[in-house]
Amino acid sequence: MAFSDYRTALVTGASSGIGAAVVERLCREGLEVHALARSAPALQVLADRTGCVAHAMDVTDLAGLTALAGATAFDIVVNNAGVDRPGSLLQADAEGIDLLVDVNLRAVLQLCRLTLPGMMARNRGHIVNISSIAGTYHFGGNTTYHATKAAIHMLSRQLRIDACGKQVRVTEICPGRVETEIFGHVHGDSAATRERFVEGFALPQASDIADAIAFALAAPQAVNVGMIEIMPTLQVPGGLTTLRADHDHGHV
């Protein structure tokens, strides 16, 4: 299927980073692109630059999502909005857990519920879910984030079963570290944050992720690109911890 067979797209988390790059890319392909995020000014700047339709909305606003999905028949839905709270479950607070489940998982489930039936009825559609290597590998910290992204990984696989029989495709994009504003959003926008996560690292850009999504969207109809994992060349997940029974507890 060429891009031209898809006419409308909804991108969540569109005010910065990967979402903004995806909006930009899909607008360039001539689609009617609806961009959703909470920051109205940032969305306005994006709309002025790309011609997208801005929706200043919280992705946890179920009534808002329902109205949006009812008003437009989306051919493409990119579930990209995501948040993180660093730390293991030992440092987690109740509010942080609720926020990550609400934004990273509950909203994605609701938006799929609201848009997939229409795609099935029209026999045309594509859901793109942005997970993370945190959903498929274990490494230290951000435990709630890992759990929500693992759910997105399985949801994407399960959705392909739900959609089977129609020309509806589901693609999971699984990034490692990408140079976006996420580190400032999670750890505070500072020189120290940039030094820790960005400066001196050779990282994929948001536009690289948008290009991968474009590849999946533009693939022939017979081709469902199920999952694309994209990491920096100089990043690799994995590890194994084995402690002696008499280990120094202070170091764990």
| Residue ranges that bind ligand NAP, judged by CB under 6 A | 12-19, 37-39, 42, 58-60, 80-83, 103, 130, 132, 175, 177-178, 180-182, 185
Angle, helices 107-122 vs 143-162, to 10°: value is 20
Shortest spacing between CB 51 and ligand NAP, in angstroms:
18
DSSP 133: G
Shortest spacing between CB 30 and ligand NAP, in angstroms:
23
DSSP, residue by residue, 172-226: EEEES--BSTHHHHHH-SSHHHHHHHTTT----BHHHHHHHHHHHHHS-TT----
Q: Rg of the chain over CA atoms, in angstroms?
A: 19
Inter-CA distances, 232 with 51, 68, 226, Å: 31, 35, 20
Of the candidates 210, 171, 173, 168, the one whose C-alpha atom is nearest the C-alpha of residue 73 is 168
Any catalytic annotation for residue 145? yes
How far apart are the C-alpha atoms of 215 and 177, rounded to whole Å?
20
Of the candidates 17, 27, 77, 74, the one whose C-alpha atom is nearest the C-alpha of residue 49 is 27
Specify the residue, 123 or 235, whose C-beta has the smaller distance to ligand NAP.
235
Specify the residue, 126 or 131, whose C-beta has the smaller distance to ligand NAP.
131
Shortest spacing between CB 214 and ligand NAP, in angstroms:
16
- Amino acid at residue number 93: D
- Which residue blocks in 29-61 are alpha helix, DSSP H? 40-50
Specify the residue, 80 or 143, whose C-beta has the smaller distance to ligand NAP.
80
Specify the residue, 132 or 171, whose C-beta has the smaller distance to ligand NAP.
132
Specify the residue, 125 or 176, whose C-beta has the smaller distance to ligand NAP.
176
Residue among 77, 145, 146, 179 flagged as catalytic: 145
Shortest spacing between CB 153 and ligand NAP, in angstroms:
11
The residues annotated as belonging to the active site are 145
